[in-house]
Amino acid sequence: MRFAYMMPLLALLALAACGEAPVPDGPTQSDQQAVTMVEDANAVIPPMVALVPEAIASADIKTHDMTGPSCNYHMATTEGPLIIARPGDAFVKLDGEVIRLAADPGSRALPSDTRTSYNGREFSLRLENAGPLNTISLRDRWDREIYSGTGPVRCGA
């Protein structure tokens, strides 16, 4: 008999335990604030760091298969090329790391089917052939010029 009185109470407790708070359809206010904080943090432009490309060594050329038709951009102070530009990509060496950039097919064509513009994740490269001296302009992801130089270019297979 005592058990009969407890049945409705147990049923109510079981029903209360099963219920969950409704989940909102969209992000909550705190989620929106977190998203805004991340977006604001990503919008901050860090201080500019000037980098000087290093000469690309013959070992780098073999390791990264930089063979084929290309134009090699040199500076008077280096033995090897600072930039190797090919029809589909270009290479530059920064802080000991060889970085590959993709050719912008919409940019102006240069000798050996190279291009005036190459782009990568961190950097972009602009090349300008103007007679015997040619200009290299390396830019960071915020389009700030971090290196500019002038020197001869050699194109061939």
- Residue 13 has a pLDDT of 64
62, HSE (Cβ side, Cα atoms, 13 Å) = 3
Look at residue 1 and tell me whether its pLDDT is greater than 60.
no
Alpha helices in 19-154 (DSSP H): 29-43, 58-63
pLDDT greater at residue 29 or residue 112: 112
Contacts of 150 (CB under 8 A, 6+ apart): 75, 133, 134, 135, 136
Tell me, yes or no, if the pTM score tops 0.75: no
Question: Lowest mean pLDDT: which of 2-16, 25-39, 52-66?
Answer: 2-16
CA distance 141 to 36: 22
